[in-house]
A and B are shown apart, each in its own frame.
Chain A
Amino acid sequence: MINLENISFDHCIKCTVCTIYCPVARETHLFPGPKQSGPDTERLRIKDPYLVDDSLKYCSNCKRCEIACPSGVKIADLIQVAKFQHLKKKIRVRDFFMSRTDLVGRLATFMSFLTNFVINLLPVKFFMDVILKIPFGRSFPKYASGTFHGWAKKKMPDQSKFRTKAVYFHGCYVNYNNHQLGKDLVDVLNAMNIGVITENEKCCGVPLIGNGYIDKAKKNAAHNIQALSRALGEEGTRIVSTSSSCSYALKYEYANLLELNNATIYDKVDYITKYLYSQFESGNIPPMKPVNLRAAYHSPCHLERMGGVIYTINVLKEIPGLDLVILHSECCGIAGTYGFKKEYYEISQSIGANLFRNIEKADVEVVITDCETCKMQIEMNTPYEVLHPVQVLARAIKNNTR
């Protein structure tokens, strides 16, 4: 039966602008583009699921089609929902583990030195390529020892002295891979007289959505909505995240894709630079010393979709001694776990090729970006270290206290 409520595809006027701006359709003809995979075939799919074709799987959910659409069609959402509903889910060991970031993270951080050593051994990489279909050429993020959550519970400096507080959704990357980013955030917010609260959070669900584990994603989302709502407590407290994709999920994917009620947190969640900018604007700017750094800024797709790029740029502009080159906005190709899969690896690399060239041309010392997987992709494909805006800010603050 046709679901009469779901008629957003009817707003499509077939102008094809979305397909022009689709990075995947640009690089491979295997993907017919967002217009065809989204609104065009949705009309057929709702009549008969037999008419679904599996080229849907090539969509990386970067959401650039939605930014381009002049008619306000939620094209990427249409495609993701169709993927969940219609594509047969092959049980794949790889996809299972790739999406279980909490499980894998806890195991890997338990003996991180061993994990980091083993994962880079040639026979292991060969095995992963042939059996698991994880491309040989792909490099992996290093795992940290222990979790950020554990550090925050036991070793974080006392936060009770700060009257204003922010709830920090650190996400899996900070929890299992990059504790320093989380610690830097604590330093930055403390320097601005703001205390940090962490909650017992679960993975935001982005990798689960990307791999089609919707029920598990819903469970995680429900847990996070509840935990974060509980932590909000006092009036005016905000939830911040240092990951652009986690923020996007908490704010939009929970309601639009997972169809959960996130009203209690919707208006409270900020990607970190938006929060910092509003603090800066009200005069709460931490004392900083020049960082003397020439950097290129790359804007991640999901931050573009949220309209958050201007906040990052304006926060970065406040950092003294930061010579900033703003790169032309384009997808780096990784799209979360997409670029970690053998069947999409080449597409992912060729999507990013132009960005990598532009980074090389920019003649900089480091690259700055908001997204952890963009960082992995850029660090693998260029000789530059990639920093988070919060890390650059932390440097400027440390320079001052030194």
Chain B
Amino acid sequence: MNYDCLIIGGGISGLTCGIKCVSEGLRCGILSSGMSALHFSSGSIDLYGYHTNRKIVYQPLDYIERLIIPEGRHPYSKCGIDMIREGISFFSETLEKEGLVLYHNNDYNHFHVSTMGTVKPTYLSQRSVFNDNIKEGFKKRSKIAILNFSGFRDFYPELAAENLRKNSLFSLFDIITGEIELPLFRRTEKNPHEFRSMDIARIFDSEKYLPGIANQIVNASGGALFVGLPAFIGINNFTRIYQRLSELTGMLIYEIPTLPPSILGMRIDDALKSRFASLGGEFIAGDTVNGGEIVNGVLDHIHTENHGSTRLRSKFFVLSSGSFFSRGLVSEFNVIREPVFDLKVAASEDRREWYSPSFFQKESHPFLEYGVVTNNTLNPEDTQGATVENLFCTGAILPHYNPIREGCGGGVAISTGYFAAKKIIEGCRS
């Protein structure tokens, strides 16, 4: 197999990179070992959310340009502000071509509500989380109804409502909770307690019960302007279903993420994969890369579990295999490693420094800032300390940033993936 670009890792960063590469006519493959972290994400794209003192950042691009880029080590510093802007618009346009529109607040951050009812700053959201009507409606400080389908266990309206009531942003709102029933529940063999977000999203997708559900929503929400529903308003037909449900209820419908799997994240995953395939990219699912051979600072080929002794060759490679959860990094008793090529990793050697004493500590955990060391063009170093010129590292595998504390995971994944793609396209042309 001879590729122009072979990407290890099919998450948001690898897919962004792959789509850019194939759209420029490169032969590109993505190797993916299991579904990506998008399945557990909020489905909103964070660029930069918090100052070091935990205060909210309102203008993320401006903040990144003035305070993050000059600092030098952050992945954003390596991309530069123009690449970040270009990458984010490329990402938005890509999803729009697949019918999934992302909205932003004229370069300002907006807030989205988490499944716990906490409020987080973010930059891009789907229509059911941020749009002009929601923004205008919010100014009226009226009534919010948070509803759930009775029996659905992956969302707790009371918990979300209670946390929102404590938030000063919502102090002038009247927040109520309620339950509605799915007509299908009575005729199914399945106990409603066993339903997951996807089961309900598919029922919405069929459109069959929409008028009935809309009626129930209106009845249960006591004249509220906003209705917050767990995020399961359709998966393939989301845009259409959202529109119809808004019209049928006459209310502002707002989606709150549920416990995993996240329908909001899966909509993005579906759109990206579909775009990649329709441009002629080869997505190779369910395979694990075991290693590769680096000769004189050039990665010659890689080998995988499924392909056995067959060598997969490519002019350029991208390692976007994620962080610990996705097995892009692994922790052993007293060492943190990158398992595929054993690249140089920035991490403390003292296990006691890896984590903070409290799980929900505001400063988050140091291990989230560990990752593969790269030069300014995202090329890592092999075990001998030589730079690997044709390998780029992107996304959560990179060190020196904290996606939780800074609120920047999606932005870093997209910008570094896009940056690597630009370098690869340049390399293939020269």
Contacts and interface: CB of A to CB of B under 8 A. Distances in A.
Question: Main SS of the interface on chain B?
Answer: loop
B322 to A, nearest CB: 9
A328 interface: yes
Given A20-B266, A70-B34, A310-B29, A274 B310 contact: yes
Interface residues of B, number: 35
A94 interface: no
**Of A68, A278, A314, most B-chain CB atoms within 10 Å:** A68
B223 interface: no
B261 interface: yes
Given A20-B198, A267-B309, A306-B306, A72 B277 contact: no
A15 B261 contact: yes
A30 B189 CA distance: 7
A107 B306 CA distance: 37
A67 interface: yes
A66 interface: yes
A314 B277 CA distance: 14
A70 B35 contact: yes
B1 to A, nearest CB: 7
B196 A29 contact: no
Interface string A298-319: 0000001111111001100000
Contacts of B36: 70
A21 interface: yes
B194 interface: yes
A71 interface: yes
Interface in B299-325: 304, 306-310, 325
Nearest to A251: B308
A307 B307 contact: yes
A32 B304 CA distance: 32
Nearest to B189: A29
Interface in B343-378: none
* A contact residues, range: 20 to 34
B202 interface: yes
B282 interface: yes
A72 B34 contact: yes
B110 to A, nearest CB: 28
A291 to B, nearest CB: 21
A328 B277 contact: yes
A29 B189 CA distance: 6
Contacts of B266: 20
A71 B202 CA distance: 25
A71 B277 CA distance: 25
Interface in A55-103: 66-72
B286 A307 contact: yes
Contacts of B29: 310
A30 B188 CA distance: 9
Contacts of B285: 67-68, 304, 329
A347 to B, nearest CB: 13
A30 B2 CA distance: 45
Nearest to B273: A328
Contacts of A328: 274, 277
B281 to A, nearest CB: 11
Interface in A227-280: 267, 274, 277-278
A44 interface: no
A308 B305 CA distance: 12
A11 B176 CA distance: 40
A16 interface: yes
Given A19-B196, A20-B266, A310-B1, 7 more contacts: A17-B34, A69-B34, A70-B39, A72-B288, A307-B284, A310-B284, A328-B277
8 closest Cβ pairs, A-B complex: A307-B306, A29-B190, A67-B286, A70-B34, A307-B287, A17-B35, A20-B198, A29-B189
17 contacts: A16-B260, A17-B39, A17-B261, A20-B196, A20-B198, A32-B194, A66-B286, A69-B34, A70-B36, A70-B325, A72-B33, A72-B288, A304-B286, A307-B284, A307-B304, A310-B282, A328-B277
